[in-house]
Chain A
Amino acid sequence: MVNLTTKIGSLTLANPIMPASGTFSEDLFEVLDLNQLGAHVTKTITEEIRGGNPTPRVCEVRGSMLNSIGIPSKGIDYFIDNVIPFYNQYDVPLVVSISAQTADDFARICERVSVPGVDAIEANISCPNIKEDGKAFAMRPSTTHAVMTKLRGASDLPLWAKLSPNTGETIEVAMAAEEAGADALVVSNTLLSMAIDIHSRKPKLGNLMGGLSGPSLKPIALRMAYQCAKSVNIPVIGCGGISTVEDIVEYLIAGATAVQVGTATFINPNAMVTLLAELEAFLQNQNIQNVSELVGSVRDEDAADAVVFMETAP
C-alpha cells in the first residue's frame, strides 16, 4: 500500500489531486465520486453578484483552449447558504476561491467566507486591481504583498495565493506572497492569449482575449512551479495542463506538493479519479512508499542559481 496522504501546511489531504477553480462544481457529482478527491476547490466568487463576460466565452486552439468566462458570481450569501452545505456532505477539505477588485474588498470577502465548513481560502489574485492601474495583483510583488497582508489579517484559515503566469517576476511575487503570510502557492492560473477567426476576422472570444489552459500551458506552469518551489518554504500546488499521470509526477518532481487538474476534466469528467488510480499504480511500480518522496526530487544539482531563477529564455 502506498501512502498518498499530502500535507499542505496544517491541512491534511487524503491524496494530492484536487480540481482547479472554475473547472469544477457541484454538478460533477453526477459523473464522479467526489469523495475520492484530495480537496474540493470552488469557482472563484466575489462578494457582489456579477454577470461575467460576453459569449463566446471559450474557443479551442490546437490541443488546448482559451476561456474568457470572467467571474460570474451569485454573490457570497448564495454561496454560504447553498454551496458550502453541499460540499460539507463530503468528508473532503473545502477550499474556497475568492476574488475582489481592491485589496480592501478582498479582505472583506475573505473574512466573510471564513466560516465553519471552509478549510482553506484560495486567493485568486490573478484578477485586475482597479485601485492600482487595473493590472492583476499577482503581476507585481508589491501588489501581491499588499493584498496578501490584508487577507492574512482577515482570516485564520490556511491561505493559498494563486499566481499568474502573466508576470515577469514569478520568484519575487512568490516570495512576496510567502512573506505576507500565505500558507501555500497555487501555480498557476491561465496565460493571457488570443485567437482570431481568419474568415470572419473576428476574435474568437467575445471578450477579445482570454486565458490559455490545457496541455499547452504545462511547460510554462511547470517551470513556474519549479522556480517557486526553489524560492519559498511553503508548499507549492502545481496547476496547468495536467492530463496524464506523467504530468502529475513531473510536477511533483519539480517540487509541487499537490496538483490541481482543470481543463482535463472537461475532456474526461472522470480524469481526476482515473489519474489518482494511475498515480497509485505508478508509485507501486516504482516501489515508492510515500508520494511525498517524489516532491522536489528533480536532479538539478549542477544548475547554477542564475539559471534556476531566470526570467527569460536563454
Chain B
Amino acid sequence: MSILERLNAGEVSSATGETHEADTRVKSNTPVNGEYRLLVLDAPQSILNCQPGQFFHLLCPVTSAHQPYLRRPMSIYGYSAEKGELQFLYKLTGEGTRALAELKVGDTLNVLGPLGVGFTIEPEWQNLLLLARGVGLATLAPLAQEAKRLGRKLTAICSARSQDVLMSIDYFESMGAEVITLTDAEGTSDMDSMRRVIETKISEGVVDAMYTCGSNRMLKLLQEIGATHNIPGEIALEQQMACGLGMCQCCVRSFNRKGLITQERVCREGPVFGIQEAMAW
C-alpha cells in the first residue's frame, strides 16, 4: 500500500496520544460584547476528552484582510462530548483573533489539542474558589462544569470594568456556583476589596483551593492569601507560543521550585501551575 493509502486507512496516524490535529466546523461565532466573541465548533470525539484549563492551538484562517501565520493558543471555554461541541471565548486583539472573527457558520477551522496540563481538583478540595478577570473567565469557566460534575461547591469571583462587560455570570449560576461580582465602576475591584471578599469566604470555611488566571496582581494576591491561610491554589499562565506541543521552547516562564529557579514550558508543563511556584513578571 502507498503511504497515502495507509494514511487514509488510518494506519499512519496519531493513534498514540490524546492530542490531534482535527478539522472542526463552525456552528456559531457571535459577539458577546464589544470586545469578546464566542466561537462554537462542531468537533470530532477524538479531541473532546478535555480537562478544564487545557487549551487548543487554532489555525486561524487567512483572509484578504488578515494573514496570521502561527497558530493561536485559546483556552477551552466549553466542551461537551455528548454534543460533539467545543467552545472558545476570545478577545479581539490582533491579526489572529480578527481573522477568527471572520469565520462564518459552516466554515472549517483546524484545531490542535487538547494541549497542556489542566487544573487539578484534589478529592479533599470540597470548596473551590475562582478569581477571574477579563479573558481569564474563558480559562476558568470549565472549572464550574467540572465542580458540578464532582459535586463540589464553587464560589466564582468575577471582576470587570463595569457590570455590562461582566461575562458568563448566568453560566456560573446555572452550574450552581455562588457568583460575586466586582467592578471598577463601582470601586469594588481593587486588590484590597478582592482580598476582603476572599478572606470573608475563608472565614466562612468555604475555601479549600483557589484558582486564577493570567494577571500578575491576582497572582500576588492569591500567593499572599494562600501563604497566610495555608490554602493551595493554581494559576493558568500565558506565554507566546509557536508549536504548542513542547518542541520549540519559546513559551518558557520562570518558576520557583523549592528555592530553585527553573524554566518550564507553558504549553507542556502548564498552562496551569501551582500558585506558589509561579513567579510574578
Binding site for B on A (CB under 8 A): 1, 22-25, 27-33, 36, 43, 51-52, 55-65, 67, 69, 72, 214, 263, 265-270, 273-274, 276-278, 280-281, 284
**Does B206 lie at the interface of the complex (its beta carbon under 8 Å from any beta carbon of A)?**
no
**B7 in contact with A277 (CB, 8 Å):** yes
Contacting A28 at CB < 8 Å: which of B15, B71, B247? B247
In the bound assembly, the distance between CA atoms of A267 and B58 in angstroms comes to 9
**A31 in contact with B17 (CB, 8 Å):** yes
- Stretch of B18-26, B82-90, B122-130, B176-184 that contacts chain A: B18-26
Contacting A281 at CB < 8 Å: which of B2, B69, B249? B2
In the bound assembly, the distance between CA atoms of A58 and B69 in angstroms comes to 12
**A33 in contact with B12 (CB, 8 Å):** yes
Contacting A267 at CB < 8 Å: which of B14, B20, B59, B268? B59
In the bound assembly, the distance between CA atoms of A213 and B59 in angstroms comes to 18
The verdict on A30 contacting B17 (CB below 8 Å), with A23-B247, A57-B250, A72-B249 known, is yes
The verdict on A57 contacting B69 (CB below 8 Å), with A277-B3, A280-B4, A281-B4 known, is no
**B247 in contact with A36 (CB, 8 Å):** no
In the bound assembly, the distance between CA atoms of A232 and B106 in angstroms comes to 53
- Scoring A31, A36, A266 by chain B CB atoms within 10 A of each residue's CB, the highest score goes to A266
**B248 in contact with A63 (CB, 8 Å):** no
**B250 in contact with A58 (CB, 8 Å):** yes
The verdict on A55 contacting B240 (CB below 8 Å), with A30-B16, A64-B69, A276-B3 known, is yes
Residues of A within 8 A of B21 (CB): 31, 268-270
In the bound assembly, the distance between CA atoms of A274 and B112 in angstroms comes to 16
The verdict on A284 contacting B2 (CB below 8 Å), with A27-B246, A31-B14 known, is yes
The verdict on A25 contacting B70 (CB below 8 Å), with A56-B240, A267-B59, A281-B4 known, is no
**B245 in contact with A58 (CB, 8 Å):** no
Residues of A within 8 A of B33 (CB): none
Contacting B242 at CB < 8 Å: which of A25, A28, A29, A67? A67
**B240 in contact with A31 (CB, 8 Å):** no
Contacting B14 at CB < 8 Å: which of A32, A263, A265? A32
Closest A residue to B252 by CB, please name it.
A55
Residues of B within 8 A of A274 (CB): 7
Residues of B within 8 A of A58 (CB): 70, 240-242, 248, 250
Residues of A within 8 A of B240 (CB): 55-59
**A266 in contact with B67 (CB, 8 Å):** no
Q: From residue B255, how far is it (CB to closest CB) to chain A in Å?
A: 13
**Does B68 lie at the interface of the complex (its beta carbon under 8 Å from any beta carbon of A)?**
yes
Residues of B within 8 A of A267 (CB): 59, 69-71
**Does B45 lie at the interface of the complex (its beta carbon under 8 Å from any beta carbon of A)?**
no
Residues of B within 8 A of A51 (CB): 263
Closest A residue to B115 by CB, please name it.
A30
**Does B231 lie at the interface of the complex (its beta carbon under 8 Å from any beta carbon of A)?**
no
Q: From residue B160, how far is it (CB to closest CB) to chain A in Å?
A: 24
Report how many residues on chain B are interfacial, defined by Cβ distance under 8 Å. 39
Closest A residue to B241 by CB, please name it.
A58
**A25 in contact with B12 (CB, 8 Å):** no
Binding site for A on B (CB under 8 A): 2-4, 7, 12-21, 59, 67-71, 110, 112, 239-253, 263, 268
**A29 in contact with B17 (CB, 8 Å):** yes
The verdict on A55 contacting B14 (CB below 8 Å), with A267-B59, A267-B71, A280-B3 known, is no
**A63 in contact with B69 (CB, 8 Å):** yes
Closest B residue to A273 by CB, please name it.
B12
Contacting A55 at CB < 8 Å: which of B69, B71, B239, B244? B239
**B242 in contact with A266 (CB, 8 Å):** yes
Closest B residue to A67 by CB, please name it.
B250
Closest B residue to A4 by CB, please name it.
B3
The verdict on A65 contacting B242 (CB below 8 Å), with A28-B247, A52-B249, A72-B263 known, is yes
Q: From residue B60, how far is it (CB to closest CB) to chain A in Å?
A: 11
In the bound assembly, the distance between CA atoms of A59 and B2 in angstroms comes to 38
Closest B residue to A268 by CB, please name it.
B21
Contacting A65 at CB < 8 Å: which of B14, B70, B249, B268? B70
Closest B residue to A63 by CB, please name it.
B69
Given contacts A36-B12, A263-B242, 4 further A-B contacts (CB under 8 A): A25-B246, A29-B17, A33-B14, A33-B15
In the bound assembly, the distance between CA atoms of A74 and B59 in angstroms comes to 31
**A63 in contact with B242 (CB, 8 Å):** no
**B2 in contact with A266 (CB, 8 Å):** no
In the bound assembly, the distance between CA atoms of A31 and B69 in angstroms comes to 20
